[in-house]
Structure 1
Amino acid sequence: MSADVTPPADRQQHPAGLDPSVSAVELTRALCDIPSVSGSESVLADAVEAALDEAPHLRVTRFGNTVVARTELGRAQRVAIAGHLDTVPINDNLPTRLVEVSPDEAAADVEGTEPGAYLWGRGTVDMKAGVAVQLKLAIELTEPVVDVTWLWYDNEEVSAELNGLGHLADARPELLRADFAILGEPTRGLVEGGCNGSMRIDVRTHGRRAHSARAWTGSNAIHAAAPILARLAAYEPATVHVDGLDYREGLNAVRISGGVAGNVIPDECVVHVNYRFAPSTSVEDAEAWLRTFFDGFEVEVVDRSPGARPGLDAPVAAAFVAAVDAEPRPKYGWTDVARFSALGVPAVNYGPGDPQKAHADDERVPLAQIDRVEQGLRRYLTGLS
């Protein structure tokens, strides 16, 4: 088990006020110890806004529980740097504490876990460590080499129609205009460019109900779904090269439903399919491809999210990659970088924490990764090599 190394006197909830002059690790603790489950971000948004109001070089805008802070230095380029304030529900994993992960536990845990000091607790990985780094740098860096739009938003962990960044993009798109964007989602301190798109569909078959003792009088919709599963099993995922990165696609049945009773031939079967497609493919083309792939079957699109190109060939992106000294990788999962991409802004993911620990009851972030991401962003924004 992880050893708890937090002094007992220190195991108390931090006050709602934030002090950005402390280390990024301590600021992460303060942010995490202000609970902000999706839909309840107002106290944390108030604290972030109050801290930013003390920085005269920033123009601060509040939009619901989304906080935007902009430099206006007249630089040739503008970079948007964003993070969400909300977390999934707490499960006896607050307040935060410092723990030490032993070599044996690291070897037995998820891939990429390293021995050493961690900050444990809800939100440490997804994604308040990234938010802490961003908030500290936003206040400290009064003369970045690019103009920066810092954004902290609500409701990322719930349905898309509630997403604060999405609401801001709809109501105030000018606040998201930039030449490049960085989202502080956990990437273990690596650069993950863009993201795959995602589409979910229902592929439906129909039959005719009958008593199972006289099955020949009906038509079995579940049996009729066999060709659907056969096509999926035979599918070979494509790898698509986009802006220097190789995105691996995926097509999988993730749920199947059908049947009404144990003695009734089913008259309907639905195979729920998730398609992950490269960011060079539009949602319209993805849908058209799926309809061709499942030709002969009824197809209904139930969810669609466009991908995001990383745009790593842009000079502003190349400068970022060089500054943080991390070889870019593709992001296979969907993130809010897609919202920037939809506005024509190339975007990457870059933040501390292993995404495999996001939402876990033992959510924890390596202290070394918090420091490394802070140093990388600092180098980039100050023009240091």
Structure 2
Amino acid sequence: MARLDLSIGSVDLTRAICDIASVSGEEAELADAIYAEIAPLAHLDVHRDGNTIVARTGLGRSQRVVIAGHIDTVPINGNVPTRDVTVDGERYLWGRGTVDMKSGTAVQLKLAAELVAPRVDITWMWYDNEEVDSDLNGLTRLARTRPDLFAGDFAILGEPSDGQVEGGCNGTLRAVVRTHGVRAHSARAWMGENAIHRAAPILSRLAEYRPREIAVDGLVYREGLNAVRISGGVAGNVIPDLCEVEINFRFAPSRSLAEAEEHVRRVLEGFEVEVVDGAAGARPGLDAPLAQEFLAAVGAEPRPKYGWTDVARFAAMGVPAVNYGPGNPSLAHHDEEQVSYAQIEAVEQGLRAWLTAS
């Protein structure tokens, strides 16, 4: 079984965690390694649900903070094991998961092991299947079986934020838009009706769509409505009778999921639209007293989070939440995923300072 040493530096711990491959659905080895190191710690009450691990302090503090990170990655593409690279004199750790989000998870694990008496009670959560459908997400499962574990006054998700604080997140909706036709031999195309050709107006509307920028509680979120996949066709000599265009709508947290669906249907009025997945966004949550203290302690200027993250789960449960982790979000899922040593160490120092301040 793979082993971890939580006493080593956060950069080396990131390397060790990244080198334990844990593509979504295959997190057991890493979860076992984490559990083996966290479970014996006397200052933590540890609960495991599948490949999701929760560790809580019970110091009787007046406030509780939830700090969470996922342990899975998108598929590997020749970028494990990790390696060191130098860019313009700065040292980086390169490889799958270094940005999204094993560097953030490494920082959390190190602090969980070392902070025996933080100034607030802490619930640490490390969970599986974040990169796939919401129904598989470890937090979805945990919310059904142990919703009490989500209780807190403030939450921090270690998603990559370039070492800055990103408040809330956009919502996301996926839908399939279908056009239908009639099959025929392509040599006698006039005998059929081409479903792919009928999809042309869908693509035109999406190409002409102009996304909005919407201010929410002082942060400006940018929306986007895009085709992300198209399928159709039967054979090289057959007029297709079905075409499906999958679209993704990223919407500001000022919209509800129902409002987002209504907007998509309005844009694509006249076409068959099936919503297949969706998750509401989260407002910034920066007005909470603990959030203000956190911003001051880490010296960060808040930004909006354009992608969807699990801060939305905490917001839905009434817990204000932000994203704070090392790594450039633009490199998440990229084949050249890499994070600077300095940023990993800075995030560790920022969290440590805030959690131990008197």
Normalised by the length of structure 1, the TM-score is 0.85
Post-superposition Cα deviations, 1:63-94, rounded to whole Å, max 9, x if no partner, equal 11211111122222211101112233444444
Post-superposition Cα deviations, 1:15-71, rounded to whole Å, max 9, x if no partner, equal 833332222112222322333333332332233223223432221111112111111
**Closer/same/farther in 2, CA of residues 263 and 50 from structure 1, 3 Å limit:** closer
Q: Which residue of the partner structure matches residue 256 of structure 2?
A: 282
Does structure 2 conserve the Cα–Cα contact (< 8 Å) formed by 1:220 and 1:266?
yes
Q: Which residue of the partner structure matches residue 48 of structure 1?
A: 34
Residue 235 of structure 1 and its aligned partner are, at CA, apart by: 2.0
Q: Which residue of the partner structure matches residue 12 of structure 2?
A: 26
Query: Among residues 295, 301, 314, which one is paired with 2:269 in the alignment?
Result: 295
Query: Among residues 176, 180, 202, which one is paired with 2:150 in the alignment?
Result: 176
Post-superposition Cα deviations, 1:113-136, rounded to whole Å, max 9, x if no partner, equal xx4111233322222211111111
- The one-letter code matched in structure 2 to 1:283 is L
- The one-letter code matched in structure 2 to 1:24 is S
Query: Structure 1 stretch 338-347 or stretch 374-383: which is displaced more?
Result: 338-347
Query: Structure 1 stretch 323-332 or stretch 27-36: which is displaced more?
Result: 27-36
Q: Which residue of the partner structure matches residue 65 of structure 2?
A: 79
Does structure 2 conserve the Cα–Cα contact (< 8 Å) formed by 1:254 and 1:274?
yes
Query: Structure 1 stretch 224-233 or stretch 61-70: which is displaced more?
Result: 224-233
**Closer/same/farther in 2, CA of residues 375 and 270 from structure 1, 3 Å limit:** same
Q: Which residue of the partner structure matches residue 3 of structure 1?
A: none
**Closer/same/farther in 2, CA of residues 292 and 369 from structure 1, 3 Å limit:** same
What is the SS of the residue equivalent to 1:67? strand
Q: Which residue of the partner structure matches residue 4 of structure 1?
A: none
What is the SS of the residue equivalent to 1:74? coil
Compute the RMSD of aligned alpha carbons: 2.3
Q: Distance in 1 between matches of 2:161 and 2:212?
A: 23
**Closer/same/farther in 2, CA of residues 50 and 197 from structure 1, 3 Å limit:** same
What is the SS of the residue equivalent to 1:301? strand
Q: Which residue of the partner structure matches residue 11 of structure 1?
A: none
Q: Which residue of the partner structure matches residue 44 of structure 2?
A: 58
Query: Among residues 324, 335, 338, which one is paired with 2:312 in the alignment?
Result: 338
Q: Which residue of the partner structure matches residue 374 of structure 1?
A: 348
**Closer/same/farther in 2, CA of residues 99 and 269 from structure 1, 3 Å limit:** closer
Post-superposition Cα deviations, 1:174-195, rounded to whole Å, max 9, x if no partner, equal 1112222111111221111221
Which segments of 5 or more consecutive residues in structure 1 lack a partner in the other structure?
1-14, 104-114
Query: Structure 1 stretch 39-48 or stretch 311-320: which is displaced more?
Result: 39-48
Q: Which residue of the partner structure matches residue 135 of structure 1?
A: 109
Residues 1:150 and 2:124 are matched in the alignment? yes
Query: Among residues 1, 20, 25, which one is paired with 1:39 in the alignment?
Result: 25
Q: Distance in 1 between matches of 2:199 and 2:334?
A: 35
Q: Distance in 2 between matches of 1:341 and 1:187?
A: 18
Q: Distance in 2 between matches of 1:46 and 1:214?
A: 61
Residue 210 of structure 1 and its aligned partner are, at CA, apart by: 4.6
- The one-letter code matched in structure 1 to 2:41 is A
Does structure 2 conserve the Cα–Cα contact (< 8 Å) formed by 1:235 and 1:251?
yes
Does structure 2 conserve the Cα–Cα contact (< 8 Å) formed by 1:209 and 1:266?
yes
Q: Which residue of the partner structure matches residue 7 of structure 1?
A: none
**Closer/same/farther in 2, CA of residues 229 and 16 from structure 1, 3 Å limit:** closer
Q: Distance in 2 between matches of 1:320 and 1:367?
A: 22
**Sequence identity of aligned pairs in percent?**
68
Residue 224 of structure 1 and its aligned partner are, at CA, apart by: 3.3
- The one-letter code matched in structure 2 to 1:120 is W
Does structure 2 conserve the Cα–Cα contact (< 8 Å) formed by 1:193 and 1:349?
yes
What is the SS of the residue equivalent to 2:287? coil
Which segments of 5 or more consecutive residues in structure 2 lack a partner in the other structure?
none
Pairing 1:79-98 to 2, within 5 Å after superposition? 79-98=65-84
Q: Post-superposition, which runs of at least 4 consecutive aligned residues in structure 1 deviate over 6 A?
A: none
**Closer/same/farther in 2, CA of residues 213 and 54 from structure 1, 3 Å limit:** closer
Does structure 2 conserve the Cα–Cα contact (< 8 Å) formed by 1:244 and 1:312?
no
Q: Which residue of the partner structure matches residue 332 of structure 2?
A: 358
Task: Give the total of aligned pairs.
Answer: 358
**Closer/same/farther in 2, CA of residues 229 and 91 from structure 1, 3 Å limit:** closer
Residue 214 of structure 1 and its aligned partner are, at CA, apart by: 5.5
